[in-house]
Amino acid sequence: MTDLSDLIRQRIAEDGPLSLADFMGIALTHADGGYYITRDPFGVAGDFTTAPEVSQMFGELIGLWSAVTWQSMGGPDPVRVVELGPGRGTLMADLLRAAHAVPAFARAIRPHLVEISPTLRAAQEQALGAAGPDHAPTWHTALGEVPLGPSIIIANEFFDALPVRQFERTEEGWRERLVDSDPAGGFCVTLSRKEVARLGPAPEGSVQEICPEGNETAAAIGRRLAAFGGVALIIDYGHEETALGDTLQAVRDHAFAPVLEAPGEADLTAHVDFEALANAAQVAGARAYGPVPQGHFLMALGLAERTRALLDAADARQREDIAAAQHRLAHPDEMGLLFKVLALGAPDLPTPAGFEGA
Ligand code: SAH
């Protein structure tokens, strides 16, 4: 058991059971011992791998997409390129390198990183060192702190880390699932005594997840894009339409673990509800495109051509890695279908590249 377990137990003793969202928020981002605060969880030695860590092609293609998007915005200078939850900073470093294909875009870019973890901020600073003084990033703890203006916003595997609440349909209506201390010294799920939300009809035992912080963030993105121009790309795993089900999961050392077992020691994520995010952004004045499967999106952006160009310049061992990376990113049995890409845009802009016909 971790120190965070003690802290959560004390909170429950004082205030009663916590919502799952409060539990998840503490476990992931509490300043003393939150999962993301204390470690770099990515890669072979960590708990999981993400697309930008699989291959430089991912960030490079998003960099080229950003350049085309910027041109469609009328080439504003400066343009904020904002990344939410940049992890090791790999995607932004690859994006900035690729952006030099369009020098006027490269000159206009002001990178802004929204990151809550001091450990990962340090990793990002190191990754972006090579980007040079013109692309020195500014860090923020929330999107609301990023200066207003035309922007391109990228979020890869950010929304799945935002805390979710869960509601369960009982014979007496919808009850919230709460976290309580159990006598054995661990945590267990209990139900709120009163109905706390009015949700639609569903069979008894159904679970409905809601991500209030995700929906608020999508609304804030929508307002910003509608007022100042720009496009956002949200890449994550999840469902296209709002659906019932408990998707909260814990991953530790590349394996699933019990969700409530060791707060601060395991990564907690939930499927992203793309329909809810798109709705929130549309209500705020933006347009939504997709979501399209990640594999389709990357192929539309030229993943196959980029792979071929890298293969031509590679030795035998590198060739194997490059081919494996393309497979991992785009194949339907790997990340190609599970991960989806949603675009949000200012209403006066054309359909973003990769979303034609979506
Ligand atoms: N985009 C990266 C990392 C994904 S992990 C990649 O694809 O590799 C989630 C990232 O979001 C981490 O950098 C984590 O520290 C950050 N994060 C999680 N919750 C956050 C919050 N509430 N505010 C800001 N950053 C957060």
* 125 SS3 class: helix
Q: Give the pair of three-digit tokens for residue 315.
A: 């030795």
Q: What is the DSSP letter of 132?
A: -
Find out whether the beta carbon of 158 lies less than 6 Å from any atom of ligand 1.
yes
pLDDT at 2: 59
Share of the chain above pLDDT 90, in %: 87
Q: Which residue's alpha carbon is nearest to atom 10 within ligand 1? A: 85
Q: Residue length, the chain?
A: 358
Question: pTM of the prediction?
Answer: 0.96
Query: Distance between CA 250 and CA 267 in Å, rounded?
Result: 5
Span from the CA of 158 to the centroid of ligand 1 (angstroms): 5
Question: How do beta strands 173-181 and 18-19 pair?
Answer: antiparallel
Peptide bond into 291 cis (omega under 30): yes
- For helices 303-312 and 56-72, angle between their N-to-C axes, nearest 10 degrees: 130
Peptide bond into 78 cis (omega under 30): yes
Using most ligand atoms within 8 A of CB, pick from 36, 62, 94, 146 the residue to mutate for ligand 1: 36
* 234 SS3 class: strand
pLDDT at 46: 73
Find out whether the beta carbon of 120 lies less than 6 Å from any atom of ligand 1.
yes
Query: Distance between CA 277 and CA 342 in Å, rounded?
Result: 9
Find out whether the beta carbon of 85 lies less than 6 Å from any atom of ligand 1.
yes
Q: C-alpha 227: how far from its chain's center?
A: 23
pLDDT digits (tens, 9 = 90+) for 280-309: 999 999 999 999 999 999 999 999 999 999
Tens digit of pLDDT per residue, the chain (358 long)? 458 999 999 999 999 999 999 999 999 999 999 999 988 888 667 777 899 999 999 999 999 999 999 999 999 999 999 999 999 999 999 999 999 999 999 999 999 999 999 999 999 999 999 888 889 999 999 999 999 999 999 999 999 999 999 999 999 899 999 999 998 889 999 999 988 777 888 999 999 999 999 999 999 999 999 999 999 999 999 999 988 999 999 998 888 999 999 999 999 999 999 999 999 999 999 999 999 999 999 999 999 999 999 999 999 889 999 999 999 999 999 999 999 999 999 999 999 999 997 7
> What fold characterizes domain 1-33+157-286?
Rossmann fold (3.40.50)
pLDDT digits (tens, 9 = 90+) for 228-267: 999 999 999 999 998 899 999 999 888 899 999 999 999 9
